Amino acid sequence: MSSAPDTPVRHLFFGLRLALWYATLFVIGSIAIVFLTYYLTAASLKQRDQQIIRGKLGDYSAAYLRGGVRVLAATVRTEQEVAPERLFVRVIDRGIDALVLSMPEGWDPSTLETASIRLADGTLVQVGKSTEAREALLARFRATLGVVTLSIVVVALTGGWLATQSALSPIRRLTAAVRRIIRTGRTDARVPVGGPAGGPVTNDAIDELTSLFNVMLDRIEGLVTAMRGALDNVSHDLRTPLTRLRGTAEMALAGPPDVDRYREALADCVEETDRVLVMLNTLMDISEAESGTLQLRREPVRLSDVVTRAVDLYREVADAKGVRLQVAADAAAARVDDGLIVTGDRTRLEQVAANLIDNAVKYTPAGGRVDVDVRREGSVALLTVRDTGPGIPPDEIPRIWARLFRGDASRSERGLGLGLSLVKAIVEAHGGTVGVESQPGRGSTFTVALPAG
Ligand code: ADP
């Protein structure tokens, strides 16, 4: 994990990047508003100046028309005495003489806002207003806007930083939990939902991610525990046959060299090894089915097809033994239940039927019967295997589902004591149940119930 030490720095950069993005957008938007405000204010001040000038121009033209330059000069003078704002006034007589009637001292004509009107006799009357006051006002406004913009940048950066930090903190907690799990290998660690000190759960995207992550950890922990248990069971169950295998080889080696004895011991070893291999495969299947890791290729399966195939497989054995093996005594019922469908793994379901039929044929003496039936009861599909065999003693019934259990009376028959364990594990992995009704001397009835449809 060479990247581990970088992570806090990476978080910092990520947070900074987010904050910068947020601040940049915020600042661009704010600056646009500031510029617009400034532009509109400047434009409206200019417009106001021009209105004033044009108003004065009208007054002065009227005065000039009334009594020429004399009356105009008098009007200007009177106004200039009372008016707070002193205007520049110039009259150009038909473009020849320029007569300045008002020129406030120290005024720079280049900084004047002017307007002019040409009268009917060709005289040009010009009025100007200094832009100094307006410029001073706008300068103050610019300074204020500068300070405001600066504050916006600071607020945006700080706000963005704080916002991203608080948004990132649950992700940081998640990362820390993952890191802890990777480092310690312990899957019992969980990420607190809604804040480090059990803060409010807001059910937002982060809380949902955290909850899902915890659910995933629960599942992983469950699977790891189940697999560990399965491994323990398998290794425990294999110890006996392997010890037997070793014993056979050891016994052969202990005596004087004898080819026939060796041959016999080796044959025993091969046989025992085959048993161990079958046992190992079956034990693995059982463990996987029990821990929920068995891969089931689920598809709609017609239960009568499953039964037919399994029965076909054992028909010859049953015939040879003199046991009557048949499907659904009532042919009409068979037709009705032809459409009984369950969702499951066809091969595994065939294994279930085959194991039950195998036991029934195996334990039923010659002259007996084995009836296999398929029917529906409400939303449940039932598969029944009924035999007229010796039955199972009541004290053994609860134990027949355990791995490697073999009934006392059954030891003379071939078997590993794993058939019913596998049946139970597969049926339960399909969400079903399996049970037995049996009494010594009155046969046994095994019933598998699976969700129909
Ligand atoms: P196996 O048949 O290899 O011994 P199983 O797990 O299939 O192992 O069965 C466990 C035990 O249940 C058997 O040893 C037997 O005692 C009992 N059993 C199962 N099926 C029947 C049956 N149809 N009739 C009588 N006993 C049965």
User: Which helix H or strand E contains 170, and what residues bound it?
Assistant: helix 132-184
Distance (Å) from CA 432 to ligand 1 centroid = 20
Query: Each residue of 363-389: b (16+ CB within 10 Å) or e?
Result: bbeeebbbbbbbbbeeeebbbbbbbbb
Q: Number of C-alpha atoms within 13 angstroms, CB side, residue 112?
A: 20
This prediction's pTM? 0.60
> What integer pLDDT is reported at residue 303 of this predicted model?
93
Please state the atom number of ligand 1 nearest to the C-alpha of residue 406: 14
State the Cα–Cα distance between residues 445 and 30, nearest whole angstrom: 83
* Percentage of residues in the chain having pLDDT higher than 70: 91
Q: Is residue 417 in contact with ligand 1, taking CB distance under 6 Å?
A: yes
User: Is ligand 1 within 6 A of the CB of residue 392?
Assistant: yes
Tokens of 206: 């982060």
From the list 353, 365, 371, the residue with the least C-alpha distance to 419 is 353
User: Rounded to whole angstroms, how far apart are CA atoms 366 and 319?
Assistant: 9
Intra-chain end-to-end CA distance of the chain, in Å: 50
Concatenated DSSP letters of 243-271: HHHHHHHHHHHHS---HHHHHHHHHHHHH
Q: For CA atoms 22, 23, 26, 29, give the dihedral sign.
A: negative
C-alpha–C-alpha distance, residues 389 and 395, integer Å? 17
Percentage with pLDDT > 90 across the chain: 44
8 A C-beta contact, residue 201 and residue 209: no
- The best mutation among 282, 363, 397, 413 to test binding of ligand 1, ranked by most ligand atoms within 8 Å of the C-beta, falls on 363
The atom of ligand 1 lying closest to the CA of 420 is 6
Mean of all residue pLDDT scores within the chain: 86
Atom of ligand 1 nearest to the CA of 390: 25
- What's the pLDDT at 240? 87
Q: 221 pLDDT exceeds 60? A: yes
Could you report the per-residue pLDDT of 61-86, keeping only the tens digit for each?
Answer: 888 888 888 888 888 888 877 776 77
Distance 295 CA to ligand 1 centre (A): 26
Q: How far is CA 232 from the centre of its chain?
A: 34
In a mutational test of the pocket of ligand 1, which residue from 410, 434, 446 has the highest number of ligand atoms less than 8 Å from its CB?
410
* 429 CA → ligand 1 middle, Å: 21
Rounded-to-integer distance, Cα 352 and Cα 448, Å: 9
| pLDDT above 90 (res 314) | yes
**273-287, 354-368, 435-449: segment of lowest average pLDDT:** 273-287
Q: Contact, 436 vs 400, CB < 8 A?
A: yes
Q: Which of 416, 420, 439 has most ligand 1 atoms within 8 Å of its beta carbon, as the pocket-test mutant? A: 420
Angle of helix 132-184 versus helix 205-254 axis, rounded to 10: 20
- Residue having the nearest C-alpha atom to atom 23 of ligand 1: 360
Q: What residues contact residue 157 under an 8 Å CB cut-off, 6+ apart?
A: 19, 20, 23
CA 132 to chain centre: 65
* Residue having the nearest C-alpha atom to atom 16 of ligand 1: 407
Q: Which residue out of 395, 400, 426 has the highest number of ligand 1 atoms within 8 Å of its CB and is therefore the one to mutate?
A: 400
Quick one: pLDDT at residue 173?
Answer: 81
- Residue 255 pLDDT greater than 90, yes or no: no
Residue 248 pLDDT grade (very low, low, confident, very high; cuts 50, 70, 90):
very high
Q: What per-residue confidence (pLDDT) applies to 32? A: 92
Amino acid identity for residue 426 in this structure? I
- Cβ of 401 below 6 Å from ligand 1: no
Q: Predicted confidence band at 1 (pLDDT cuts at 50, 70, 90)?
A: very low
Does the CB atom of residue 360 touch ligand 1 within 6 A?
yes
Tell me what pLDDT residue 205 has.
78
Give the closest residue (by CA) to ligand 1 atom 1. 417
Q: Ligand 1 centre from 368 Cα, in Å?
A: 17
Tokens coding 202: 């807001």
Q: What is the DSSP string of 188-239?
A: T--PPTT-TTS------HHHHHHHHHHHHHHHHHHHHHHHHHHHHHHHHHHH
Residue 416 CA to its chain's centroid (Å):
45
Is residue 366 over pLDDT 90? yes
Residue 7 has pLDDT above 80, yes or no: no
Q: What's the pLDDT at 105?
A: 67
Distance (Å) from CA 358 to ligand 1 centroid: 9
Nearest Cα residue to atom 8 of ligand 1: 417
Is the shortest distance between the CB of 57 and ligand 1 below 6 Å? no
Ligand 1 closest atom vs CA 363: 24
Whether the CB of 410 sits within 6 Å of ligand 1 = yes
Give the model's confidence band at 331: pLDDT under 50 very low, under 70 low, under 90 confident, else very high.
very low
Which residues, in sequence order, are CB contacts of 321 under 8 Å at separation 6+?
361, 366
pLDDT band at residue 106 under the 50/70/90 scheme: low
Segment of 75-84, 127-136, 143-152, 156-165 carrying the highest mean pLDDT: 143-152
- 20 vs 13, more confident: 20
In this structure, of 192-196, 323-327, 367-371, 436-440, the range with the lowest mean pLDDT score is: 192-196
CA distances from 63 to 78, 83, 111, 116, 118 (A): 12, 17, 26, 15, 14
Q: Which residues pair with 374 in a beta bridge?
A: 383
399-429 pLDDT, tens digit each: 999 988 999 888 888 888 999 999 999 999 9
Alpha carbons 406 and 397: distance in angstroms, whole number: 11
Which residue's C-alpha comes closest to atom 19 of ligand 1?
A: 359
- Quote the pLDDT of residue 38: 93
Token pair in block for residue 163: 């916002």
Element (H, E) at 49: helix 7-82
